[in-house]
Amino acid sequence: MHLDPDRFDLVNADAETLALNVQLERLSENLPNPIEVGIEPLREARRRGRGLFGPVERSPNAVDRTIPGPDGPLGIRVFTPDRVDGIYLHFHGGGWAMGAADYQDGRLESLADTAGVAVVSVDYRLAPEHPYPAAADDSETAARWIVENGAPAFGTDRIVLGGSSAGAHLAVTTMLRMRDRHGYSGFAGASLMYGFFDLSLTPSARNWGDRMLVMNTELCRWFAKAYAQEADLTDPDVSPLYADLHDLAPALFIVGTLDPLLDDTLLMATRWTAAGNATDLSVAAGAAHGFASAPTLVGAQARNRSARFVVEQIA
């Protein structure tokens, strides 16, 4: 793992990325603020295609089904390409409080087709209506189902898991729970984009301040509180940055330098390596939180790197 200090100099950010940041900052300021009005107006804006990164992408090729969950049926959304070499277990982002399994159909369908993986996206319960440990319990349940049923359902037991933001958090929490509760450390890899790994807030999140570029300090605190509520924010099951990270899968970490959660990725990637796990780190100069969802060159590079990682891990 090599970290180039030049990546943190904005002079090395490309013009398209900086232009996107201006647009994102304007849009962020105009979206409903959950701190002031609650989460539902922001959810509704996203459903209506007024999110930061464009309309919701839904594909007619996905198959919705349910599996037994800890609180009733748990929804999963599945893409199965003609050739399946592995399984990608996906956890969507949205601060544990918004989003859904069908909000990234375009990207997930493309991943299924190009990487040759069956993609299973988990519709976990959302906070604050369903606080911790609901989303983590649902994610663990989906992982157990994939481990037990992946081979007969898809013809392979090679499983990569991943997600972005809160989804990356749930991917790591799921790996830890599967290792510690079920004795399973067989995941082939983890693709983790700008994860929220310390809900007590890392220095970059604490020091970001009021600037609303997708996220800011108070919004980070709001999402963490909505999910964790009265739980100990340094409990490793809540903030996996504090966990013992031994015997975990090779991981790809992706983050931009203009992300309040920058330190979450830098610290987790370092601890991942120190625990003896294979680690790859990609830092995008000047990129904001969520940049891999943008129709930019840097966004496409992040998506392509994640897809290559998945292919490499299931090989």
Distance CA 245, CA 275 (A): 6
One of 121, 139, 165, 293 is an active-site residue; which one? 165
pLDDT mean over 293-306:
97
pLDDT of residue 278: 98
Condensed to tens digits (0 to 9), the pLDDT of residues 170-210 reads: 999 999 999 999 999 999 999 999 999 999 999 999 999 99
Alpha carbon 228 to its chain's center:
17
- Domains belonging to the chain, first-starting first, are 5-314 (3.40.50.1820)
Of the chain, the percentage scoring pLDDT greater than 90 comes to: 94
Q: Specify whether 59 is catalytic.
A: no
pTM: 0.97
pLDDT band at 119 (very low <50, low <70, confident <90, very high): very high
Q: Specify whether 204 is catalytic.
A: no
Condensed to tens digits (0 to 9), the pLDDT of residues 206-245 reads: 999 999 999 999 999 999 999 999 999 999 999 999 999 9
Neighbouring CB atoms inside 10 A of 48's CB total: 10
Residues 6+ apart with CB under 8 A from 178: 140, 143, 144, 147, 184, 185, 187
One of 123, 138, 259, 264 is an active-site residue; which one? 259
Q: Specify whether 165 is catalytic.
A: yes
Of the chain, the percentage scoring pLDDT greater than 70 comes to: 100
Query: Cα angle vertex 131, ends 219, 148, to 5°?
Result: 120
Condensed to tens digits (0 to 9), the pLDDT of residues 272-293 reads: 999 999 999 999 999 999 999 9
Cβ atoms 80, 118 nearer than 8 A: yes
pLDDT band at 56 (very low <50, low <70, confident <90, very high): confident
pLDDT of residue 53: 85
The three-class DSSP label of residue 281 is strand
Distance CA 152, CA 10 (A): 49
Distance CA 288, CA 17 (A): 8
